């Protein structure tokens, strides 16, 4: 059984193409400078259609999380951590926090992007605890 795959579309495909080459892509508005996620056909602030893909730093902070104990399907191995990550550039996205015990996850911890295969053709961003920044802050 396969995990849920992202629905296809021109903007989503460009985003996923970035993931495949190890880049977390955000849109940046050439007119007002806003970084936005998820990708849209226009800037959600000034409505300009002059949007550029930029590579995010991949650093962010956990603003909330949960440990899913009953998985949504057999393709997902519980427990897994679903988190909301606020990126340094501003936007928030949903992802997994991986490579740590669920008990180690907390609101406010810094995280760093990593990439995980979701199917043969799809790679998606996940996050790991950023121990370097976690220790220094």
Strand partners, 128: 98, 112
Contact status: 27 vs another protein (CB under 8 A)? no
Residue from 45, 48, 57, 66 binding another protein (CB under 8 A): 66
d(CA 15, CA 1): 24
Examine residue 45 and tell whether it contacts another protein (CB under 8 A).
no
Q: Is residue 4 near another protein by the rule CB under 8 A?
A: yes
Q: What is the 3-state secondary structure (H, E, C) of 9-23?
A: CHHHHHHHHHHHCCC
What is the x/- site pattern for another protein, positions 107-126, by CB under 8 A? xx---------x-----x--
Binding site for another protein (CB under 8 A): 3-7, 9, 12, 15, 37-38, 63-73, 75-76, 80, 82, 84, 92-96, 102, 106-108, 118, 124
């Amino acid at each position: 059984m396969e995990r849920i795959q992202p629905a296809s579309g021109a903007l989503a495909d460009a985003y996923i193409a970035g993931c495949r080459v190890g880049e977390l892509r955000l849109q940046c508005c050439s007119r007002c400078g806003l970084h936005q996620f998820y990708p849209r056909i226009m800037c959600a602030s000034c409505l300009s259609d002059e949007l550029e893909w930029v590579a995010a730093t991949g650093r962010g902070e956990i603003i909330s999380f949960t440990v899913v104990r009953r998985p949504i399907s057999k393709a997902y191995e519980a427990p897994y951590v679903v988190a909301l990550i606020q990126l340094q550039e501003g936007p928030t996205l949903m992802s997994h926090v991986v490579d740590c015990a669920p008990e180690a996850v907390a609101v406010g911890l810094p995280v760093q992007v990593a990439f995980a295969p979701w199917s043969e053709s799809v790679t998606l961003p996940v996050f790991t605890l950023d121990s370097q920044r976690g220790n220094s802050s």
